[in-house]
Structure 1
Amino acid sequence: MEGGVNLRNWADLLPDALGLIFSNLSLQETLTIVPRVCKSWNQAVLGPYCWQHINILDWSYRSNPDHIEPMLRLLVTRSGGALREITVSGILSDLTFSFVADHARSLQKLQIPRCNISDSVVEQLSSKLSAVTFMDLSYCCKISGRALSAIGKSCKSLVGFRRNMHPIDVQDRRTQAEEAVAIAATMSKLKHLEMAYNCIDTKSVVEIINKCDELEFLDVRGCWDVKLDQDWLEKRGRKVKVLGPHVVDQFEGHSCSDYSDSDSFYDYESLDDGLWDDDDVDDDEDRVGSRLELRFYEGFNENYVNGWV
């Protein structure tokens, strides 16, 4: 009691309350600063309460690719099987995906854009992801309709699916009609579906709309072979919000506001939180020239990362 005011000792807060508070901090602060404050805070960071929702997307964009999987393994291990969300870019190996799946019995949200996993590992492990309700496999070029079919058959509660592709390499990409068929055949409960810049046609999209009765939102921006008539949707009594195929985005000099926060294109300035090393960007010209592919791995100083991972 001080001045008639009862001052609460933060060290006495329950671990789950501390985990909720620490979730608002940056990854670096949580791993390096918080544990040094007191014993109870250190125990909270080591335990599962801070890591039920692992969202290291921004960090993974800026990190050396070699550091992403060790970091993910560390945090998944600390979660103690209590995972609800994993959001990270750049998983490079089937082994790491297998490790995540082995700890995914409570996982509800899995966002792993730009991963390098294969159809075979997804088919083998999709049954372990049965609790997932939202999944993001955007820009994952090694998987196909086989993987999507396995996911749809195993994840019966899936209501949100994101499978956006990169707009620049669309000319050289194979058709993704089999992916659309897999989605229509196995993901009938979808309410939210993003397929921007997919190589699909009108027939594929109509099949999805016909089979996914609960669909409320469909993103087909950049799917240039898709021709949807809004009157057709209204005559069928379907209230599906459709975006695309025509879109003005950042590649044409404008920002695209329709993208969700977890799938937007970032400028270097918006990513800079003091963790950039000046030597990683040579000059202003390189900085501007790189804006077409901002979501690849840029700029984290290796020695700095090794100092706190």
Structure 2
Amino acid sequence: MEERKWENLNSDCLVNVFGRLDLETRLLDIVLVCKKWKEVLLNPLCWQIIDFPDDISQSRLAVASDARGSPNISGLINFVVGRSQGCCSKLVLPNGTTIADLIYVSDACPNIKTLVLPYDDVELAYHGEAIVKLIAKWKSLEVLDCGFCCCIDQIVDKIGLHCKNFVSLSFQITQIDPVISSAIVSKLANIKSLVLKKAFIGKEEIMILLLGCKELELLYIQNCFFLGLKEFDEEMLHLASRIKDFQLEGSTFMNFTFPQFDEEEMLFRLEEEEMLFRLEEEE
């Protein structure tokens, strides 16, 4: 039986397979197999899903460096996103992404359905107002993970206005007040998935979400800070029980009511509570 050669494999099948591989393999390994595989990677359909590792410097993609030896993250984003030629439907951005990169993405990926912003990028977080303006360009957006981002209420408002098929929202380290929770209920009536991480939230805000999000199928509350609550009481648990996938993990119940502090103080409170928790464990 004659052995099949790599270059004789069907191109359409290769496009399907290559599009499922991780980014490092597509960029650094596939191109070395044979000339045909390298040519197949030029097909924009191979780049419908672009998932950057969180920390480029700890990945093999760090070979793309600037003059100082640091990973050229903007150059890498432009290069990879450019290969999709507007076909990218899912994009996971790395730490170090700038607002300029996001503006480029908003033009280069008009049909994006899933967008994940970096979780540990404080600089990008404070450009919430700029992100709000970009939402209007992503009319096909269905899933948004904001990471640590300000202006959540304004982002929700724009999503409700421009993204008619939107179903899933995630964010972290955010002060969830009645304005934000009410905006989610009123602007995202068909939302099916909501993920809150390291957020500050009180009972009023939880009740607004549980009572108002009628279509919710998934609710994850992870490592959040419940203000003025001793426990997730029976009333809240009863309302949450109708949600198919409800998870309450690692959250802390705090003895003060909802304060109006800015993000810097919020981060300080977060670190303070984690330190107290570690001290209690040591005792």
Could you tell me how far apart the structure 2 residues matched to 1:161 and 1:200 are?
A: 16
Greater share of strand: 2
Letter in 1 for 2:199: N
- Matching residue of 1:111: 116
- Say which of 151, 155, 171 aligns to 1:147: 155
Give 3-state SS (helix, strand or coil) of 2:30's partner.
Answer: helix
| Equivalent residues of 1:54, 1:85 under 8 A apart | yes
Letter in 2 for 1:69: S
Give 3-state SS (helix, strand or coil) of 2:91's partner.
Answer: strand
- For 1:86-165, what aligned pairs fall within 5 Å after superposition? 86-114=91-119, 115=121, 116=124, 118-140=127-149, 142-165=150-173
Deviation at 1:205, TM superposition (A): 1.9
Q: Deviations over 1:258-293 (max 9, x none)?
A: xxxxxxxxxxxxxxxxxxxxxxxxxxxxxxxxxxxx
Could you tell me how far apart the structure 2 residues matched to 1:178 and 1:18 are?
A: 48
Range 91-100 or range 129-138, more displaced = 91-100
4+ aligned runs moved over 6 Å, structure 1:
none
Bigger relative contact order, structure 1 or 2 (CA pairs below 8 A, ≥6 apart): 1
Task: Give aligned pairs, total.
Answer: 236
| Equivalent residues of 1:233, 1:240 under 8 A apart | no
Could you tell me how far apart the structure 1 residues matched to 2:156 and 2:135 are?
A: 10
- Matching residue of 2:248: 244
Could you tell me how far apart the structure 1 residues matched to 2:11 and 2:179 are?
A: 47
Deviation at 1:32, TM superposition (A): 2.8
Could you tell me how far apart the structure 2 residues matched to 1:178 and 1:107 are?
A: 28
Deviation at 1:73, TM superposition (A): 1.3
- Matching residue of 1:56: 52
Could you tell me how far apart the structure 1 residues matched to 2:55 and 2:236 are?
A: 43
- Matching residue of 1:38: 34
Q: Deviations over 1:49-77 (max 9, x none)?
A: 32110011355373677532221211110
- The answer to whether 1:219 aligns with 2:251 is no
Could you tell me how far apart the structure 1 residues matched to 2:145 and 2:155 are?
A: 13
| Equivalent residues of 1:84, 1:109 under 8 A apart | yes
- The answer to whether 1:17 aligns with 2:13 is yes
TM-score norm. by structure 1 comes to: 0.65
Letter in 2 for 1:184: V
Q: Deviations over 1:241-266 (max 9, x none)?
A: 44337549xxxxxxxxxxxxxxxxxx
Letter in 1 for 2:162: S
Give 3-state SS (helix, strand or coil) of 1:244's partner.
Answer: strand
- Say which of 43, 60, 77 aligns to 2:82: 77
> Residues 193, 119 of structure 1: CA spacing in aligned structure 2 closer, same or farther, 3 A cutoff?
same
Deviation at 1:152, TM superposition (A): 3.2
- Which segments of 5 or more consecutive residues in structure 1 lack a partner in the other structure? 166-172, 249-309
> Residues 232, 144 of structure 1: CA spacing in aligned structure 2 closer, same or farther, 3 A cutoff?
closer
Deviation at 1:136, TM superposition (A): 0.7
TM-score norm. by structure 2 comes to: 0.71
Could you tell me how far apart the structure 2 residues matched to 1:59 and 1:164 are?
A: 18
| Equivalent residues of 1:91, 1:97 under 8 A apart | no
| Equivalent residues of 2:128, 2:151 under 8 A apart | yes
| Equivalent residues of 2:177, 2:205 under 8 A apart | no
> Residues 44, 224 of structure 1: CA spacing in aligned structure 2 closer, same or farther, 3 A cutoff?
same
Percent identity over paired residues: 23
- Matching residue of 2:278: none
Letter in 2 for 1:164: Q
Could you tell me how far apart the structure 1 residues matched to 2:139 and 2:161 are?
A: 9
Could you tell me how far apart the structure 1 residues matched to 2:212 and 2:33 are?
A: 54
Q: RMSD in angstroms over aligned alpha carbons?
A: 3.0
| Equivalent residues of 1:113, 1:138 under 8 A apart | yes
- Matching residue of 1:67: 72
